[in-house]
Amino acid sequence: MHPVRQLLAALLIPPASHAAFAATHYPLSMTNCGVELRFESAPERSVTVGQSATEMLYMLGLVDTVEGTSVWFNPVLPQFSKINAGIERIADNDPSFEAVVNKKPDLVAVQYEWHVGSTGSVGSRRQFHDLGINTYIMPADCDTKNNATGGDGTRLAAFSTSSVYKGIHQLATIFDVQSAGAALVADLKAREAQAVMRAENLDLPDDLSAVFWFSSPDLETDPYVAGRLGAPGYMMEKLGIRNVIESDEEWPTVGWETIAKADPDLIVIAYMDRRRYAADDVQKKRDFLRKDPVASQMTAVKAGRIVEMDAHAMSATMRTIFGLESLADALSDMTFTP
């Protein structure tokens, strides 16, 4: 093991903690997003398709298994910047099927089902499984969600952080690092509880409303905004904020005229390093809101109530908890007048 990786693994997984958890018994079988998986042993080589999957493996102390990563929105979590720099980035966005297979992984860990699903843009699960490569999709993207509707899918019920914790526990079991999984879940639950408590203590108006703008194909078309049941919906529910977008789609496109008519008190805009669309640039979002004849008339724009949030926190990931923290911080510094 590389010395830096060895040190990181030691820091993340205190040796004495292993004794408290039973080891995984192989062969291990489980159902993941409707597909039956079987592991004869702990995977030794993994490739990630999605930043959330990458960071989760890092957090579990499994950096030594990661042979390649792909699909990045923003820089890796700061504590992993050095180690991540030493791992090959196969692609900033969607990798090819061949590029993933060429890394000879035992497991492909996936953030979004539309990348690796029944008809994935990278490849289907069947394609990987036919080559003896297991695939694991984060439950946060398939539990309570139908990805067969196209686009980013449709939520059948509200996102819950329990699906994030489920993914952590299952990956920890697959790799036989249960103690690391339990420690990570405990830490995230504590942060979530503290953020919710802080939110409950904020003296916010009872009728506060918001819209979350992720991006737009270009600045002349309708934006991708958060539906009511995804990760932003979870944040708003915890903060007692009404989402002016009532769709169950994960990221529906809604016209600015419709949004302006709803006149949200707060606009949350995603910042990201990704540049797939023109509106990925947070400054271009701000310039649009300030100059567009319709958007510029909204109360939130006139009052300067525009909050920047890590784009990855707006997806159903463990960073959603960090997003809840940052939104509570931003609201604590705002003034709302009748």
- At 294-320, the pLDDT tens digits run 999 999 999 999 999 999 999 999 999
Confidence of residue 338 (pLDDT cuts 50, 70, 90): low
Confidence of residue 276 (pLDDT cuts 50, 70, 90): confident
% of the chain exceeding 70 in pLDDT: 94
* pLDDT at residue 4, rounded to an integer: 35
User: Cβ distance 126 to 102 under 8 Å?
Assistant: no
Mean of pLDDT values over 77-81? 96
* pLDDT at residue 224, rounded to an integer: 97
pLDDT at residue 18 is higher than 50 = no
User: Cβ distance 223 to 215 under 8 Å?
Assistant: yes
When computed from its CA atoms, the radius of gyration of the chain, rounded to whole angstroms, is 20
193 Cβ partners below 8 Å, 6+ apart? none
Cα gap 126→129, rounded to integer Å: 5
**Helix, strand, coil percentages, rounded to 5, for the chain:** 45, 20, 40
* pLDDT at residue 201, rounded to an integer: 85
Mean of pLDDT values over 133-150? 93
Mean pLDDT of the chain: 91
Q: CB burial class (10 A; 0-12, 13-18, 19+) of residue 303?
A: middle
* pLDDT at residue 20, rounded to an integer: 62
Mean of pLDDT values over 189-207? 87
* pLDDT at residue 200, rounded to an integer: 82
Helices (H), 159-315: 162-174, 178-201, 231-239, 256-262, 282-291, 299-302
Mean of pLDDT values over 68-76? 96
Question: Residue for token digits 């539990």?
Answer: 143
Residue whose C-alpha is closest to residue 271's, from 243, 308, 304: 308
* pLDDT at residue 21, rounded to an integer: 77
Run of H or E residues at 144:
none
Mean of pLDDT values over 258-280? 95
102 Cβ partners below 8 Å, 6+ apart? none
Cα gap 71→260, rounded to integer Å: 32
59 Cβ partners below 8 Å, 6+ apart? 12, 77, 168, 180, 184, 318
From the centroid of its chain, how far is CA 86?
23
Report how far apart, in Å, the C-alpha atoms of 51 and of each of 15, 62, 207, 311, 316 are.
27, 15, 35, 11, 12
Cα gap 238→196, rounded to integer Å: 6
* pLDDT at residue 6, rounded to an integer: 40
Mean of pLDDT values over 154-179? 96
DSSP assigned state of 79 = G
pLDDT at residue 3 is higher than 80 = no
Run of H or E residues at 21:
none
Beta strands 35-39 and 28-32: pairing type?
Answer: antiparallel
**Residue 91: count of CB within 10 angstroms of its CB:** 16
Burial string for 41-67 (b: 16+ CB within 10 Å, else e) reads: ebbeebbbbbbbbbbbbbbbbbbbbbb
Return the half-sphere exposure (C-beta side, CA atoms, 13 A cut-off) of residue 281: 8
pLDDT at residue 8 is higher than 80 = no
Helices (H), the chain: 3-12, 51-59, 81-85, 97-101, 125-130, 162-174, 178-201, 231-239, 256-262, 282-291, 299-302, 319-332
Mean of pLDDT values over 247-252? 94
pLDDT at residue 203 is higher than 90 = no
